């Protein structure tokens, strides 16, 4: 995908989608930093020009976007370790944990799982496997949780990818 949301051209280099995703993340980080520091439009353009020589983020390359991010950090912006809007979840170290998060995400997207915070998934793990969260599941306990999530999807008529 490119920075504007269109998919990469068929003849694009391998990994072009990954590069575009990185660029998108850098653009988002710059805008979030701008908003966090309450930088108005004129000051933002001046900052961009001072750091990169350009007055628009649209024309910046990855190196320049990183420089803008570094400048925002110098000015006091502290990047968050997660995305906003309740989409954050801990990094899963094991495949069975990633599977639990994937099924949970599918249920949230389908509208079956109403509460989108990780605490609700932790409560489900507590009920099903007597463990306080996904990060504490061993493979046997994760199987119980995975089967519970699959049963929930089946009852709701949600098709899960295998």
The pTM of the full predicted model, rounded to 2 decimals, is 0.47
Q: What confidence tens digit (pLDDT) does each residue in 94-116 have? A: 889 989 998 998 898 888 888 87
- CA-to-CA distance for 33 and 149, rounded, in angstroms? 37
Is 107 found in the same domain as 54?
A: no
Q: What confidence tens digit (pLDDT) does each residue in 120-159 have? A: 999 999 999 999 988 899 999 999 999 999 999 999 888 8
Query: Does some domain include residue 28?
Result: yes
Query: Does some domain include residue 79?
Result: no
13/60: higher pLDDT: 60
Query: Does some domain include residue 1?
Result: no
Query: Does some domain include residue 7?
Result: no
Is 108 found in the same domain as 69?
A: no
When the pLDDT of each residue in the chain is averaged and rounded to a whole number, the result is 83
- Under a CB-based contact definition with an 8 Å cutoff, are residues 121 and 134 in contact? yes
Q: Residue 159: what pLDDT?
A: 84
Q: What confidence tens digit (pLDDT) does each residue in 74-99 have? A: 988 887 765 445 555 556 788 899 89
Its domain, for residue 137, covers 95-156
Query: Does some domain include residue 161?
Result: no
* Helix %, strand %, coil % of the chain (to 5): 60, 0, 40
1 has pLDDT over 50: no
* Owner of token pair 């000015």: 75
**pLDDT level of residue 2 (50, 70, 90 thresholds):** very low
Q: Residue 138: what pLDDT?
A: 93
Query: Does some domain include residue 126?
Result: yes
Q: Residue 162: what pLDDT?
A: 62
Is 69 found in the same domain as 101?
A: no
**pLDDT level of residue 12 (50, 70, 90 thresholds):** low
Query: Does some domain include residue 42?
Result: yes
- Under a CB-based contact definition with an 8 Å cutoff, are residues 29 and 80 in contact? no
Is 67 found in the same domain as 113?
A: no
The secondary structure of 11-45 as a DSSP string is TSPTTHHHHHHHHHHHHHHHHHHHHHTT--HHHHH
Is 55 found in the same domain as 106?
A: no
Is 142 found in the same domain as 99?
A: yes
9 has pLDDT over 80: no
* Owner of token pair 């990047």: 79
Is 23 found in the same domain as 62?
A: yes
Q: Residue 78: what pLDDT?
A: 84
Is 70 found in the same domain as 105?
A: no
Domain count, the chain: 2
> DSSP code of 9?
P
Is 110 found in the same domain as 60?
A: no
Q: Residue 81: what pLDDT?
A: 61
Query: Does some domain include residue 89?
Result: no
Taking the alpha carbons at both ends of the chain, their separation in whole angstroms is 25
């Amino acid at each position: 995908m490119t920075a504007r949301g269109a998919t990469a051209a068929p003849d694009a280099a391998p990994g072009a989608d990954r590069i575009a995703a990185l660029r998108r993340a850098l653009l988002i980080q710059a805008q979030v930093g701008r908003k966090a520091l309450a930088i108005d439009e004129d000051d933002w353009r001046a900052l961009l020009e001072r750091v990169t020589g350009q007055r628009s983020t649209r024309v910046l390359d990855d190196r320049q976007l990183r420089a803008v991010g570094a400048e925002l950090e110098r000015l006091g912006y502290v990047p968050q370790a997660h995305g906003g809007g309740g989409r954050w979840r801990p990094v899963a170290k094991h495949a069975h944990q990633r599977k639990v998060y994937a099924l949970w995400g599918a249920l949230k997207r389908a509208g079956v799982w109403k509460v989108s915070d990780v605490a609700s998934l932790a409560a489900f793990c507590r009920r099903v496997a007597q463990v306080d969260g996904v990060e504490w599941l061993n493979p046997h306990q994760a199987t119980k949780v995975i089967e519970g999530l699959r049963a929930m999807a089946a009852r709701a008529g949600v098709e899960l990818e295998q």
